[in-house]
Chains A and B, each alone.
Chain A
Amino acid sequence: MDRRKIEENIFKGLMNASMLIILASLVFILVTIIVRGLPAMNLAMITQTPKGGYYLGKEGGILNAIVGSLYLAGGATLLAILISLPVVLYLNIYSKKGSRLVAFTRFSFDVLWGVPSIVYGAFGFTIMLFFGLRASLLGGIIAVALLVLPIMSRAMDEVIRMVPQELLESSYALGATRLQTAFKVVTRQALPGILTAVLIAFGRGIGDAASVIFTAGFTDYIPYSLLRPAATLPLAIFFQLGTPFPEVQERAYASALILTVIILIISIVSRILITRFTKHIVK
């Protein structure tokens, strides 16, 4: 056989192998978390807060961390929407095509997207020192909002860019202002994409640990005010795994399973949203 053909086949084999390795590692991770997490799962885990001595193996659950994470990621997502939706609408509707400001803002989101979450945490910490805040739900929300802002904005920008120019023009032709066009036409047209962007940001927010380690603190109680510290799911996993007691470590696996299931649900819901909403889009 031709040497060129042999080389081609060798590399084809290598490509198939690497593809398999990468997909297998995904399956391996999910299966490991399910197999080790399920036996330690019980109802108390998701319905109770830690009782005294929980981290020594006594009774309780991680409801505090589940609720804390939902509050934190929810708050951060809301804050990030308030900033990124206007910014993205400005970039696509108000500003001139190809202006420097547009290029600069897009570039800076791209760069921010690569900033590690621990740096957001450290920066959030300096903001808190500046305002004299202590580790609290609010501090965590600010740090996580900064973290998800570039993710959300880039995703929204991509869908809003796709809205056909003709649609804008017909709205202007009817006498609508840019503001009316932005919120009544463009946002509605791009809604599925915007919702997906929001869900992606929420998923990132709920799974991130490094940005909340300084800013949100940790507590055994469910936070009832923005100024109270809040427990988060990733940190609960980390702390439980760090104890020397096997039964508490088992609970860390169960908590990791809970977090993974939440992430899976978010990604499935966002896929369903896309297919359901795209039906109503004017093409």
Chain B
Amino acid sequence: MQTKRLLKDRIASKLMLLLTVSSGLIVFVMAFGLYQRSRPILAIKPLSELLFSTSWHPLRGEFGFFPFIMGTLWVTGVAVAIAIPLCLLTAIYLSEYAHRWVREWTKPLIDLLAGIPSVVYGVWGVLIIVPLIKDYVAPFCGTFSSGYSVLAGGVVLAIMVFPIIIHVSVEVFRSVPYEVREASLALGATKWQTVKHVVMRKALPGVIAAIVLGLSRAFGETMAVLMVAGNVAKVPSSILDPAYPLPALIANNYGEMLSVPLYDSALLLSSLALLLVVLFFNIISRVILIRVERSIQ
């Protein structure tokens, strides 16, 4: 009886260790698996052609990712530009000014925003943002737009990254020790001056990490962007032009990719690229956040 219990414990310990190690290795397995599948195209095409050619004709064997890379950058850029000021102001308000009950009431609401599926954001974008741009924004700017545009993608993405940026930056702001604020207030600084010169300076690395996390989320978001960005394989020249971001490209062509040579390889290469870029961003911001956490303890 005694030994059976101990034996069970020992076996369970080994099994759990195995599971732990293998789940830690998933990232590497994913990168390796995608790399294996994208090797055929990497063997034939030079990387510079894949990255900088604008000619996307899979049937003729031409795979230039440049329009899609630019589409991703435009949409992500617009989203981040909209999200940064709104999220930072909200985060400062929640951590420095708001009553406790306001904080407690907004948290579940922001969690709810994070829980809405991206396809629902897409439907909302199609119903509200796209017509708004077509009927009001574009005529106001004196041009024509179908509404399916960089701007529509950016607005929808911005709302999708609100929760993560707010959540992480509120945590960073609240980790700034209270004594630092008191010292500044005691010198006669107003609350806003304290926030601007003391809290912000202390929290800056963490805030950057929060923004980078939001950015990488926007970078890989697929469904909502696919539904509102227009999907035209051309480099956009204004925010009212349609764009075709990389994730949308991958999702849109799953049907035909096995019937055209190299097509699947090209699409899996672009998912590998997405994975690597997002990993890079995530590793940087997580390292910053760990440092911030340590410097406070």
Contact bitstring A175-199, B, C-beta under 8 A = 1, else 0: 0011110000000000000000000
Q: How far does the alpha carbon of A68 sit from the alpha carbon of B92 in the complex, in Å? A: 43
- Cβ-defined contact, B286 with A107, below 8 A: yes
Query: Residue A158 at the B interface, CB < 8 A?
Result: no
Q: Which of A111, A116, A179 has the most CB of B within 10 A?
A: A116
User: Could you jot down 29 A-B contacts, CB within 8 Å?
Assistant: A7-B192, A8-B193, A18-B86, A18-B87, A19-B93, A23-B109, A83-B23, A94-B16, A101-B24, A105-B20, A107-B290, A108-B23, A111-B286, A112-B27, A116-B217, A118-B271, A119-B271, A123-B30, A126-B268, A177-B5, A178-B9, A203-B115, A210-B118, A213-B251, A238-B122, A238-B223, A241-B123, A253-B123, A266-B115
- Answer whether A207 and B118 are a contact pair too, CB < 8 Å, given A22-B162, A267-B111: yes
- Cβ-defined contact, B278 with A115, below 8 A: yes
Query: Residue A11 at the B interface, CB < 8 A?
Result: yes
Query: Residue A114 at the B interface, CB < 8 A?
Result: yes
Question: Which 6 A-B residue pairs are closest in the complex by CB-CB distance?
Answer: A116-B220, A207-B117, A122-B271, A90-B16, A15-B93, A210-B222
Query: Residue B187 at the A interface, CB < 8 A?
Result: no
- Cβ-defined contact, B166 with A22, below 8 A: yes
Q: How far does the alpha carbon of A134 sit from the alpha carbon of B283 in the complex, in Å? A: 34
Query: Residue A163 at the B interface, CB < 8 A?
Result: no
Chain B residues contacting A119 (CB-CB under 8 Å) are: 30, 34, 220, 271, 274-275, 278
Q: How far does the alpha carbon of A177 sit from the alpha carbon of B34 in the complex, in Å? A: 42
- Cβ-defined contact, A237 with B93, below 8 A: no
- Cβ-defined contact, B9 with A177, below 8 A: yes
**Closest-CB distance, A268 to chain B (whole angstroms):** 10
For chain B residues 140-185, which have a beta carbon within 8 Å of chain A?
A: 159, 162, 166
Query: Residue A149 at the B interface, CB < 8 A?
Result: yes
Q: How far does the alpha carbon of A252 sit from the alpha carbon of B122 in the complex, in Å? A: 11
**Closest-CB distance, A28 to chain B (whole angstroms):** 7
Q: How far does the alpha carbon of A256 sit from the alpha carbon of B286 in the complex, in Å? A: 34
Give the residue of B15, B124, B250 whose beta carbon is less than 8 angstroms from that of A118: B250
Chain A residues contacting B44 (CB-CB under 8 Å) are: none
Q: How many residues of B contact A (CB 8 A)?
A: 84
**Closest-CB distance, A23 to chain B (whole angstroms):** 6
- Per DSSP, chain B at the interface is helix
- Cβ-defined contact, B223 with A234, below 8 A: yes
- Cβ-defined contact, A117 with B222, below 8 A: yes
Chain B: CB-nearest residue to A236: B119
- Cβ-defined contact, B113 with A114, below 8 A: no
Chain A residues contacting B59 (CB-CB under 8 Å) are: none
Give the residue of A11, A101, A208 whose beta carbon is less than 8 angstroms from that of B117: A208
- Per DSSP, chain A at the interface is helix
- Answer whether A267 and B93 are a contact pair too, CB < 8 Å, given A107-B286, A241-B126: no
Query: Residue B227 at the A interface, CB < 8 A?
Result: yes
Question: Which of A29-37, A51-59, A223-231 is found at the contact surface with chain B?
Answer: A29-37
Chain A residues contacting B281 (CB-CB under 8 Å) are: 114
Chain A residues contacting B36 (CB-CB under 8 Å) are: 126
Chain B: CB-nearest residue to A108: B24
**Closest-CB distance, B242 to chain A (whole angstroms):** 16
- Cβ-defined contact, A101 with B20, below 8 A: yes
- Answer whether A263 and B6 are a contact pair too, CB < 8 Å, given A19-B93, A119-B30, A241-B227: no
For chain A residues 97-151, which have a beta carbon within 8 Å of chain B?
A: 101, 104-105, 107-119, 121-123, 125-127, 129-130, 146, 149
Chain B residues contacting A122 (CB-CB under 8 Å) are: 34, 250, 267-268, 271
Contact bitstring A1-17, B, C-beta under 8 A = 1, else 0: 00011011001101111
Contact bitstring B106-117, A, C-beta under 8 A = 1, else 0: 101111110111
Contact bitstring B195-232, A, C-beta under 8 A = 1, else 0: 00000000000000000010011011111001100000
Give the residue of B90, B122, B126, B278 whose beta carbon is less than 8 angstroms from that of A22: B90
**Closest-CB distance, B83 to chain A (whole angstroms):** 10
Give the residue of A8, A16, A86, A180 whose beta carbon is less than 8 angstroms from that of B15: A86
- Cβ-defined contact, A111 with B279, below 8 A: yes
- Answer whether A259 and B117 are a contact pair too, CB < 8 Å, given A8-B191, A22-B162: yes
- Answer whether A238 and B119 are a contact pair too, CB < 8 Å, given A94-B17, A271-B108: yes
Give the residue of B33, B122, B124 whose beta carbon is less than 8 angstroms from that of A123: B33
**Closest-CB distance, B152 to chain A (whole angstroms):** 14
- Cβ-defined contact, A8 with B190, below 8 A: yes
Q: Which of B15, B30, B191, B226 has the most CB of A within 10 A?
A: B30
Chain A residues contacting B122 (CB-CB under 8 Å) are: 238, 241
